[in-house]
Amino acid sequence: MDKKKLAAEHAVASIEEGMVLGLGTGSTVYWMIQKLGELVKEGLNIKGVPTSQETEALALKLGIPLLQLADVHEIDLTIDGADEVSANLELIKGGGGALFREKMIASISRRLLIVVDDSKVVTTLGKFPLPVEVVPFGWELTSRKLSRFGCKPVLRTTAKGPFITDNGNYILDCHFDTIHNPEELNEHLNLTIGVVENGLFVNMANTIIVGSNEGVYTKKKSM
Q: Which residues of 8-32 are buried (b: 16+ CB within 10 A; e: fewer)?
A: bbbbbebbeeebbbbbbbbebbbbb
Q: Cα–chain-centroid distance for residue 109?
A: 13
Catalytic site residue from 56, 84, 102, 197: 102
Q: How far is the CB of 138 from ligand R5P (least distance, A)?
A: 23
Nearest to 222 by CA among 85, 82, 87: 87
For residue 172, list its beta bridge partners.
132, 155
Q: Closer CB to ligand R5P, residue 173 or residue 194?
A: 173
Q: How far is the CB of 163 from ligand R5P (least distance, A)?
A: 11
Q: Residue number with the shortest CB distance to ligand R5P?
A: 26
Q: How far is the CB of 106 from ligand R5P (least distance, A)?
A: 10
Q: How far is the CB of 178 from ligand R5P (least distance, A)?
A: 20
State yes or no: 118 annotated in a binding site: no
DSSP state of 121: B
For residue 210, list its beta bridge partners.
116, 217
State yes or no: 87 annotated in a binding site: no
State yes or no: 43 annotated in a binding site: no
State yes or no: 220 annotated in a binding site: no
Backbone phi, then psi, for 104, in 5-degree steps?
-65, -45
Q: What is the DSSP string of 203-218?
A: S---EEEEEETTEEEE
> Which chain residues interact with ligand R5P by CB under 6 A?
24-28, 80-83, 93-99, 102
Q: Closer CB to ligand R5P, residue 141 or residue 154?
A: 154
74 is annotated as an active-site residue: no
State yes or no: 71 annotated in a binding site: no
Q: Closer CB to ligand R5P, residue 71 or residue 79?
A: 79
> Can you say whether residue 107 is alpha, beta or left, with left for phi > 0 and alpha for psi between -120 and 50 degrees?
alpha
| Residues flagged as binding site for substrate | 25-28, 80-83, 93-96, 120
Could you give the residue numbers annotated as active site? Answer: 102
| Residues flagged as binding site | 25-28, 80-83, 93-96, 120
